[in-house]
Amino acid sequence: MAYFNKHYHSPGTAPGTLVAIQKPVTPVTIKLIDYTESSVEELQPASARDCRPFLDRQSKTWIQVNGHIDPDTLRDFGELFDLHDLALEDIINSGQRPKIELYDDQIFIIATLPVYDGQNLEMVQVSLFVGKNYLICFCPLANDPFEPVRKRMRQPNNRRFADRGIDYLLYALMDFIIDAGFPVLEQFGGQLEALEEELLERPSQKTLASLHELKRELLTLRRVLWPQRELITTLMRGEDELILANTLVYFRDCYDHSIQIIELLESFRDMATSMLDIYLSSISQRTNETMRVLTIIATIFIPLTFVVGVYGMNFDHPGSPWSMPELGWYYGYPMVWGAMILIVLGLLWFFKRRHWI
């Protein structure tokens, strides 16, 4: 994962400039759901202009735009729905911080959907425009991540979308985005458990690399989830007339979920930090154990080296009172070996008594 993943125009560019920063990777697809109290109609418009007839209806319309949108298509949506130029620029320049902008007759929201496949963590920017009877959602993913919400809308006995305003659809999408953090953190929790077992049994450089990578991903997730909680707080206040009073209780539930995710995330970050300290202590302990064994071996061989050094001098001069008498002993060689063995045993007993081994 790159440290800096925000796309931006060159400094000095005029505000509201719609120029593609990155080459489109996935083609744009548009899905439209128009629903009333008695019906749900699903279409796949070919362009933004095909959505124009639904603006004159009294129904509620959800327009889902998937894929990397090009400036021309985005400009068409902006002209059709009177979207602010700065908001459109934020869609082109992906990697924005989660935020909410309240306009006269619209709400613009940037949220971040965490997607984790077990190896790579991807932070997907989701941009939403909420009007009186419509909601437009821009998502760069090729596959529509909000299909579970769409499935709930198709259920004939589900009256919540039909009986409430467009703000309830906004809640459903925001709730999906926030709750997407739970399965991501569940996978992180499994990785932490595996790393903890590996840390206690056989820590290695691979363990350290995995810990650093996990801490980095948790930090990235934290950088996104904290401002997203502030976003939900703003919606809970009901400062905009598009957010009705009977929907505020659902946003409060969404806020509770965001708090749970943040608390779980902070716990995982603390666990990863403590595991890193345990790894460093374990490596230091292993180094100390190794040095202790080597020191004991060196200490044992110091007197032996002295003994063999003395008897390796071979000073033997006939008639000299300073010659080495042991060189002429019949049992001199086995006696030296016996003395060295006694020295080794004595040192081992001494080390054992001092609890050094």
State residue 291's pLDDT score: 86
Domain residue ranges in the chain: 29-282, 311-353
Q: Which of 240, 267, 228, 236 is nearest to 253 (CA)?
A: 236
pLDDT band at 37 (very low <50, low <70, confident <90, very high): confident
**Residue 227, pLDDT above cutoff 80:** yes
User: How does the average pLDDT of the chain come out, rounded?
Assistant: 84
- Residue-wise pLDDT tens digits, 38-90: 788 888 888 888 888 888 788 899 999 998 888 888 888 988 888 888 888 88
Return d(Cα 259, Cα 277) in angstroms, integer: 27
Are 49 and 80 a contacting pair, CB within 8 Å?
yes
State residue 146's pLDDT score: 93
pLDDT band at 241 (very low <50, low <70, confident <90, very high): confident
CATH fold label, 29-282? Beta Polymerase; domain 2 (3.30.460)
SS3 (DSSP) at 112:
strand
Biggest CA–CA distance in the chain, Å, is: 129
- Residue-wise pLDDT tens digits, 114-160: 998 877 888 899 999 999 889 999 999 888 899 999 888 888 777 78
Type of residue found at 118:
G
Type of residue found at 113:
L
State residue 22's pLDDT score: 59
State residue 309's pLDDT score: 82
Residues in a beta bridge with 129 = 108, 136
Asked which of 98-112, 171-185, 203-217 is least confident by mean pLDDT, the reply is 203-217
pLDDT band at 6 (very low <50, low <70, confident <90, very high): low
- Residue-wise pLDDT tens digits, 156-178: 777 788 788 899 999 999 999 99
Are 250 and 168 a contacting pair, CB within 8 Å?
yes
pLDDT band at 337 (very low <50, low <70, confident <90, very high): confident
Query: pTM for this structure?
Result: 0.76
Integer distance in angstroms from the first to the last C-alpha of the chain? 47
Residues in a beta bridge with 43 = 32
**Residue 12, pLDDT above cutoff 60:** no
Return d(Cα 305, Cα 202) in angstroms, integer: 37
Are 128 and 108 a contacting pair, CB within 8 Å?
yes
Comparison of pLDDT for 111 and 27, the residue scoring more: 111
- CB contact set of 166 (below 8 Å; sequence gap of 6+): 60, 130, 131, 132, 133, 134, 135, 242
State residue 19's pLDDT score: 57
The kind and range of the H/E element at 40 are strand 40-43
Are 165 and 175 a contacting pair, CB within 8 Å?
no
| Radius of gyration of the chain measured on its C-alpha atoms | 36
Return d(Cα 115, Cα 354) in angstroms, integer: 57
pLDDT band at 5 (very low <50, low <70, confident <90, very high): low
Enter the DSSP assignment of 319: T
